[in-house]
Amino acid sequence: MAEKNKDKQSTVNENINWNTVEDFNDMFDIVDDENDTIEYAEDELNKYYLSGHVNSMVQEDEMIDDDSYDNDINVIEEIQTEAILSQNFSQLSTKAEDEQKSGVINKRQRSSTTISSPDASCKKIKLIVDDADESTATTTMSSTETNEIPIYLSINNKLFVHMAQTITKTTTSISINSIQQLALFIHQAASVRTDREVMKAYLHSVMGTLKQSESHLIEVDRRVWPIHVQSLMLTQHKAATTTACASVTEDQQADCEKHLHQRLIEMNEKIQYHQNQFNEKKNNLIDFTSNIEQTIRSFVQKHGVKPLEMKRNLRIAMTNHDYDSEILRRQYLQEKPNEYQIQVMKHLSEKKRELEKSKRELLEMKYRVFYNKPHSSLDAIETTMPILNDDDRKLKLLNKHEKLIQRKKLDFVAIKIIGAEIKFYQYLRAFDHELAAMWKNHRELVKNKGMSTTLTDLIEKRFTGITDRWRDVYNYRLNCYFRNFYSDFEPTNTNADGDKMKRIGFSSSLIIDAIHQLSDKELQLLNRGPSYVPPGQISISSSGQSVDDIIKKKYAPLKHQLSCLFSKYHVNIALSMEIEQKISDQFTDLFSVPIPSNLQQRALYEKHLLQSIRYSLNANNLILRRTADNMNTFYLGNLQEFETKAYDYLSKSDAYKALLNKDKDNGGQQWQTELNQMVESMNLLLESLKNHKAVNIDLFNRLLVDASKVKLPYLYFLPDVSKENEISLVPYITSKHSATWRIGKYLNELLRPFVDKNLSTTTFRDEPDFMRKLNDYVYVERHLRATTLFCTIKIINYYTLDIHKNMIDTVGYFLEDNLVTNKLEQVTIQTIKNLLHIFLYNNVFYYKDKIYTLMKGSPNTMPLSDTLSNIFLFTWQKKILKEIKSKNEFFGRYKDQIFFTWNNGNEEQLGSFLQTIRDKKPNVQFQKLIGTNVPFLNAFVENQNGELFTRVYHHPILPRYTLPYVVGHSKLAHGDWFRSALIRAVCYCSLIEDFTLERIYLELTCLANGYSIFFVENNVQHFFSYFHADTMRYLKDQTMYDKFRHDWFGYMTMQYELSDKLQTFNDNDCLIHLNYLYEFGPKCQFNQQFHCLWTESFNQHANLSKDKVKIQLTTKHQHSLNSLLAREKSTCSIQ
Mean pLDDT of 883-890: 88
Residue 789: pLDDT above 80?
A: yes
List, for residues 261-274, the tens digit of each pLDDT value. 999 999 999 999 99
Please state, in angstroms and as integers, the Cα–Cα distance from residue 839 to each residue in 100, 550, 692, 705, 783, following that order. 58, 42, 19, 12, 45
Instruction: Give, in order, the Cα–Cα distances in Å from 545 to each of 12, 87, 408, 593, 606.
Output: 9, 33, 49, 13, 21
Q: What is the mean pLDDT of residues 851-855?
A: 94
| More confident: 786 or 594 | 786
Secondary structure tally for the chain: helices H, strands E: 34, 21
The span from the CA of 1081 to the CA of 535, in Å, is: 13
DSSP 8-state assignment for residue 932: S
Burial of 537 (0-12, 13-18, 19+ CB in 10 A): buried
Q: What is the pLDDT of residue 213?
A: 77
DSSP 542: T
Nearest CA among 355, 50, 98 for reference residue 1034 = 355
Please name which of 275, 482, 220 lies closest in space to residue 372, comparing C-alpha atoms.
482
What pLDDT score does 3 carry? 43
CA distance 658 to 784: 51
The answer to whether the beta carbons of residues 981 and 939 sit under 8 Å apart is: no
Which pLDDT score, from 0 to 100, does residue 832 have?
Answer: 97
pLDDT score at 394:
66
Partners of 624 in beta bridges: 636
Report the pLDDT value the prediction gives residue 61, as an integer from 0 to 100: 54
Look at residue 934 in the predicted model and tell me its pLDDT: 98
- The pairing of beta strand 1071-1077 with beta strand 1110-1116: parallel
State how far Cα 191 lies from the chain centre: 39
Query: 329-332: long-range contacts (C-beta < 8 A, 24 or more apart)?
Result: 329/118, 329/119, 329/120, 329/121, 329/127, 329/128, 329/244, 330/122, 330/220, 330/221, 330/246, 331/118, 331/217, 331/218, 331/220, 331/458, 332/118, 332/119, 332/120, 332/127, 332/455, 332/458
**Mean pLDDT value across residues 163-191:** 93
Average pLDDT over residues 101-114: 37
pLDDT of 308 higher than 70: yes
Question: Could you tell me which residues are beta bridge partners of residue 631?
Answer: 964
Q: How far apart are CA 195 and CA 232, in angstroms?
A: 14
Amino acid at position 1062, single letter: L
CB 458 within 8 A of CB 118: yes
CA 387, CA 397: separation in Å to the nearest integer? 10
What share of the chain in percent tops pLDDT 70? 84
Can you tell me whether residue 449 is helix, strand or coil?
coil
- What is the predicted pLDDT for the residue at 148? 83
Dihedral angle sign, alpha carbons of residues 860, 865, 871, 875:
negative
Where residue 171 falls among pLDDT bands split at 50, 70, 90?
confident
Strand partners, 763: 893
Per residue, what are the HEC states of 640-678?
A: HHHHHHHHHHHHHCCCEEEEEECCCCCCCHHHHHHHHHH
* DSSP character string of 216-266: TSPP-------HHHHHHHHHTTS----TTTT---HHHHHHHHHHHHHHHHH
Specify the higher pLDDT residue, 234 or 559.
559
pLDDT at residue 382 above 50? yes
Alpha-carbon gap, residue 485 to 27, rounded angstroms: 12
What is the rounded distance in angstroms from the CA atom of residue 403 to the CA atom of residue 888? Answer: 45
Q: Which residues contact 233 (CB under 8 A, 6 or more apart)?
A: 225, 239, 252, 255, 256, 259
Mean pLDDT of 957-979: 94
pLDDT at 27: 82
> What integer pLDDT is reported at residue 663 of this predicted model?
65
> Which amino acid, one-letter code, is at 741?
W
Is pLDDT above 60 for 238?
A: no
* Separation of alpha carbons 304 and 183, rounded Å: 10
Which residues make Cβ contacts (< 8 Å) with residue 809, sequence separation at least 6? none
CB 1130 within 8 A of CB 65: yes
Q: For residues 775 and 772, what is the distance between their CA atoms, to the nearest angstrom?
A: 5
Mean pLDDT (whole number) for 64-83: 45
**Once rounded to an integer, what is the mean pLDDT over residues 1087-1101?**
94
| pLDDT value of position 20 | 38
Q: Are 919 and 821 contacting, i.e. CB atoms less than 8 angstroms apart?
A: no
Mean pLDDT, rounded, for 425-452: 94
Give residue limits of the domains in the chain: 102-120+337-506, 141-336, 740-952
Nearest to 523 by CA among 511, 538, 540: 511
Q: Is the pLDDT of residue 125 over 80?
A: no
Q: At residue 118, does pLDDT exceed 60?
A: no
| pLDDT greater than 70 at residue 109 | no
Is pLDDT above 80 for 396?
A: no
Helices (H), 128-249: 135-138, 158-168, 176-207, 227-235
Can you give 832-878 as a three-state secondary structure string? HHHHHHHHHCCCEEEECCEEEEECECCCCCCHHHHHHHHHHHHHHCH
Q: Residues 121-142: what's their mean pLDDT?
A: 42
pLDDT score of 653:
93
- Residue 922: which residues within 8 A CB-CB, separation 6 or more? none
At residue 1009, the pLDDT reads 95
How far is 493 from 502, CA to CA, in rounded Å?
Answer: 8
Dihedral sign from CA coordinates of 1059, 1062, 1066, 1067: positive
* Of 873, 961, 962, 973, the residue nearest 923 (C-alpha): 873
CB 1045 within 8 A of CB 980: no
**Nearest by Cα to 55 from 1116, 1067, 875:** 1067
pLDDT value of residue 486: 64
Q: Looking at per-residue confidence, does 225 or 113 come out higher?
A: 225
Q: For residue 1131, what pLDDT is reported?
A: 59
Q: Rounded to the nearest 5 degrees, what angle is found at the Cα of 744, between the Cα atoms of 741 and 748?
A: 140
Contacts with 92 (C-beta within 8 Å, 6 or more apart), sequence order? 24, 25, 26, 598, 599, 601, 602
Distance CA 135, CA 860 (A): 60
Instruction: Using the predicted structure, report yes or no on whether residue 102 has a pLDDT greater than 60.
Output: no
Asked if 931 and 790 count as a contact pair (C-beta separation under 8 A), the reply is yes
- Going by pLDDT thresholds of 50, 70 and 90, the confidence category of residue 387 is low
- Kindly report the average pLDDT of the chain as a whole number: 86
CB atoms within 10 A of CB 111: 8
CA dist 791 and 87 (Å) reads 51
Strands 711-712 and 1132-1133: antiparallel
Strands 823-824 and 827-828: antiparallel
Average pLDDT over residues 1080-1105: 93
Q: State the CB neighbour count (10 A cutoff) for residue 525.
A: 24
Name the percent of the chain lying above pLDDT 90.
71
